[in-house]
Amino acid sequence: MKKKELKYISLRDFTTTSGYFYPKFELSYQLFGQDLNTAPVILVNHALTGNSNVAGEKGWWNEIIGLGKVIDTGNYTVIAFNIPGNGYDENNDNFIENYEDFTARDIAKLFGLGIQKLGINSLFAAIGGSLGGGIAWEMAVLFPNLIENLIPVASDWKASDWILAHNKTQLQILSNSSKPVHDARMMAMLFYRTADSFKQKFNRSKNKEQGNFNTESWLLHHGQKLENRFTLSTYKMMNHLLSSVDITRNRGSFNEIANQLKCNIIQVGVDSDFFFVPAENKETQKLLNKAGIENSYHEIKSIHGHDAFLIEYDQLTDILHPIFQQPKTKSLKNKKIRIVKFGGKSLANGEGLNKVLEIIYDKKQMMIKLLWLFPLEGIRQIYWSKFWTKLKAMKIMKGYLNRLRTIKLYRMAILIFQMNMIL
Q: Are residues 275 and 399 in the same domain?
A: no
Q: Are residues 19 and 141 in the same domain?
A: yes
Q: Domain ends where: 238, 264, 293?
A: 238
Long-range contacts: 406-410, Cβ < 8 Å, 24+?
407/75, 408/376
Q: Are residues 286 and 326 in the same domain?
A: yes
Domain-embedded: residue 1 = no
Q: Which of 28, 52, 130, 272 is catalytic?
A: 130
**Coil/strand/helix, residue 270:** strand
Confidence of residue 10 (pLDDT cuts 50, 70, 90): very high
Averaged pLDDT for residues 155-181: 98
Closest CA to 50 of 142, 140, 133: 133
Give bridge partners of residue 25 from the DSSP assignment. 11
Q: Which of 166, 240, 304, 306 is catalytic?
A: 306
Amino acid 386: pLDDT:
57
Instruction: Give CA–CA dist 393/389, Å, rounded.
Output: 6
Closest CA to 73 of 45, 114, 44: 44
pTM: 0.78
Q: Which of 273, 302, 304, 307 is catalytic?
A: 273
Q: Domain ends where: 217, 238, 259?
A: 238
Q: Are residues 279 and 147 in the same domain?
A: yes
Instruction: Give CA–CA dist 336/313, Å, rounded.
Output: 35
What's the CATH code of the domain at 371?
Answer: 3.30.110
Confidence of residue 128 (pLDDT cuts 50, 70, 90): very high
Specify whether 246 is catalytic: no
Specify whether 130 is catalytic: yes
Amino acid 388: pLDDT:
57
Q: What are the tens digits of pLDDT across the range 69-116?
A: 999 999 999 999 999 989 898 777 777 888 899 999 999 999 999 999
Q: Are residues 13 and 91 in the same domain?
A: yes
The answer to whether the beta carbons of residues 257 and 212 sit under 8 Å apart is no
Residue 295: which domain range?
A: 7-159+243-331
What backbone torsions phi and psi does residue 251 show, to the nearest 5 degrees? -125, -35
The answer to whether the beta carbons of residues 159 and 167 sit under 8 Å apart is yes
Q: Are residues 74 and 143 in the same domain?
A: yes
Specify whether 306 is catalytic: yes
Domain-embedded: residue 422 = no
